[in-house]
Amino acid sequence: MSNEYLTLFKELAHAVELLAEQVMEYDHEHNDEGGEKTAQIMRDDFAALASKFDSENPAFERNDFIKLLTGVYIIVNNLQDKITNIRKTIDGYNTNVGAKLQRIMNETTSDEEAAQLANELFNIQQN
Domain of residue 21 covers: 3-122
**Are residues 57 and 3 in contact, defined by beta-carbon separation less than 8 angstroms?**
no
In a domain, 67, yes or no: yes
Residue 105 CB contacts under 8 Å (≥ 6 apart), including other chains: none
Instruction: Supply the angle between the helices 3-29 and 62-92 in degrees, to the nearest 10.
Output: 70
pLDDT of residue 34: 96
Query: Is residue 70 assigned to a domain?
Result: yes
User: Is there a domain that residue 110 lies in?
Assistant: yes
Residue 55: predicted pLDDT: 84
Number of domains making up the chain? 1
The answer to whether residue 35 is domain-embedded is yes
Local confidence pLDDT in tens for the 127 residues of the chain: 888 999 999 999 999 999 999 999 999 999 999 999 999 999 999 999 999 988 888 889 999 999 999 999 999 999 999 999 999 999 999 999 999 999 999 999 999 999 999 999 998 665 4
pLDDT at 28: 95
